[in-house]
Amino acid sequence: QEQTAAVLKPDPEDRNVSPHEMADYVNNETGQSALSRTNGDLDLLRRLISSGYPVVVELGLDPTGEYRWMGWYGHYLLVVAYDDQSEQFWVYDSWFGTSLVPGENANADGRQISYDELDNYWRQFSRNYIVLFDPSLRADVNEIIGPAMNDETMWRAALSRAQDEI
């Protein structure tokens, strides 16, 4: 975060960075590529991860304990692994580290979060995600994402899903 803040958050009072801003940073400031999409699902996350692509998800967060004063806000997790048997993802978190205590890293393998918990909080941001990849692998990423690579298809499906869930 310290390395990217000058570009992504030039105003230190601005607590928000959107997925497309992060993807633009990757695409313009690094040798890697990123796609920002919406209306992801757990199956897509598992397909991307099993194909070796890191995925950042945007979700809602209600801090507890001494951080409750902050109230609900958006947060990002880097999803790095999953286990269908235990229905858990492993994530890295820039604030909570790999524990539930901010800044504490309890496990180098990441923090576990259940499929249901991730999806519940991910839903609060229309299941936005950023997939990161080497530019030479764009066709593979496009194939995994499938029809949702078309913006109109993606947004119509997101609207329909949101209406169904309401």
Quote the percentage of the chain above a pLDDT of 90.
Answer: 63
129: number of Cβ within 10 Å: 26
The lowest-confidence range among 21-25, 106-110, 155-159 is 106-110
Written as six digits, the tokens of 31 are 């040798």
Give the C-alpha separation, 106 to 15, whole Å.
26
Work out the mean pLDDT of the chain and round it to a whole number: 87
Q: What is the DSSP letter of 41?
A: -
Q: Six-digit token pair at 51? A: 């194909």
Alpha carbon distance 162, 124 (integer Å) = 10
Q: What would the pLDDT profile of 87-129 be if each residue is shown by its tens digit?
A: 999 998 776 655 555 555 556 667 888 999 999 999 999 999 9
- Axis crossing angle, helix 115-122 with helix 42-50, rounded to the nearest 10: 110
Reply yes or no on whether the pLDDT at 83 is more than 80: yes
